[in-house]
Homo-oligomer: A and B are copies of this chain.
Amino acid sequence: MGNQINIGLLGFGTVGSGVAKIILEHQQDLHHKLGTEVKIKKVLVRDMTKKRETDLPADVFTDDIDEVLNDPSIDLIVEVMGGMNGAKDAIEASLHAGKGVVTANKDLMAVYGPELLRLADENKCDLFYEASVGGGIPLIRTMEDGLASDRISSLTGIVNGTTNFILTKMKQENMSYEDALAEAMELGFAEADPSADVDGIDAARKMVILASLAFSTEVQLDDVFVRGMKEIQDGDVDLAESFGYTVKMAGHAEKDEDGIAVSVEPVFIPNTHPLASVHNEYNAVYIYGAAVGETMLYGPGAGSLPTATSVTADVVAACRNLLLGMNGKRLHSPQYERKVKSDDKRFSRYFHRFLVKDEVGVLTRLSAIYSKYGASLATVVQNPVNDEEDSELVFITHKMSRQQHLDVLEELENTDVVLAVLSHYRVEGEKS
């Protein structure tokens, strides 16, 4: 290692080139922080002929991954190539070769995180993945270090910028879902195929990573209960506002003696809650600690430079460990066994919206069904709809289990006066 640390960069897209730029431009700061030079020794690219705007010398670029992984002078691999199997192979090879790894690969970490972290531990290497969640927000580090002495009881996060941008436009500018999605695409906040974002899959992957770390337990993608944005019906955003709530696509994870529960779904958040003020493409994670109480981390959830900054912060941390010979000393293996809560142990208030026949006694009949399952109503609002034969009924319940919620909805759906269950939401972010 000597007087410099050599880095092998796998990938030179927007994030990879951003990392190179930051490392080149911040040499003085890095030297002050580490007392040594940080050098990008090799960069793996797919197409050697492509013209690149960079201050890196031309001879660092290669299209042969072995040239990077087998270079004994390289101390640290930065994986920003994306994808699954190729990236997994590269990270495994790096760890086997005793090289630390920094990755921004959320998809990979959500599925193979525990396996790769175990491999890192076995090879006494660091495996850092700050940029895999929340772009420029130092979420992983904060949970690992800052709140190290606090037990995290739950966390609620807006961890997908695309859906938050769309919902902000729907609320603030009364845009339709389709128009907001189109604008998100135009601005580069949504991909050509936005399904991973709008269906909640991207957020679910991030919640797997966050929940695993927060609760020191293995969480699998299948453990996450997911509902996508298509569950949001016309009028829901305005209805939420009329009750003092904002509709957000939010991830939630909680842990108690009954186990963990992780979900991603559109929820109602009270307007007074700081998460309701997280607008546009910004992300935020609200953490409830046993001792510290409530904290929130807010910032850009994506973007080339923020993500590159998180990767570089990991590089700095990994370099510091290398210099001090403490690399691979932080064990990542989960402390607690995986145990998922059953639906009768997950408690929330719920918002239910029905289309009903407008006849005498309908309210009595419906509220009796709630009572039957041990649930009760906090707010009831009835609005006639246009043809004035039917009406819309909105209930906000007191706290009840998800099982009660499902039982009530099922019975209500089969009741003749209920014409349709229009929509339903969990209420999130209220004091219990």
The chain A residues found within 8 Å of chain B, CB to CB, are: 18, 22-23, 26, 29-30, 32-33, 130, 136-138, 141-142, 145-151, 216, 272, 274, 276-279, 282, 284, 289, 291-300, 303, 305-306, 308-310, 312-313, 315-317, 324, 326, 329, 335
Q: What are 17 A-B pairs at a CB distance below 8 A? A: A22-B150, A22-B291, A26-B151, A136-B291, A138-B147, A142-B142, A142-B146, A147-B309, A292-B299, A292-B300, A292-B305, A292-B306, A293-B303, A293-B305, A294-B300, A295-B297, A296-B296
Given A32-B335, A292-B136, A299-B293, A149 and B22 contact (CB-CB distance below 8 Å): yes
Residue pair A309, B150 in contact (C-beta under 8 Å): yes
Note all chain B residues with C-beta closer than 8 A to A313.
Answer: 145-150
Closest to A143 in B: B138
Residue pair A149, B299 in contact (C-beta under 8 Å): no
Q: Which of B147, B279, B299, B326 contacts A324 (CB 8 A)?
A: B326
Q: Which of B23, B33, B145, B294 contacts A148 (CB 8 A)?
A: B33
Note all chain B residues with C-beta closer than 8 A to A149.
Answer: 22-23, 26, 29-30, 309, 312-313, 315-316
Residue pair A32, B274 in contact (C-beta under 8 Å): no
Beyond contacts A147-B313, A296-B296: 18 other A-B pairs, Cβ-Cβ < 8 A, are A138-B142, A142-B142, A145-B316, A147-B309, A148-B313, A272-B279, A274-B277, A277-B277, A289-B309, A291-B305, A291-B308, A291-B309, A292-B305, A292-B309, A295-B298, A298-B298, A324-B329, A326-B326
Given A138-B146, A309-B149, A316-B148, A299 and B291 contact (CB-CB distance below 8 Å): no
A310 to B146 CA separation, bound complex (whole angstroms)? 7
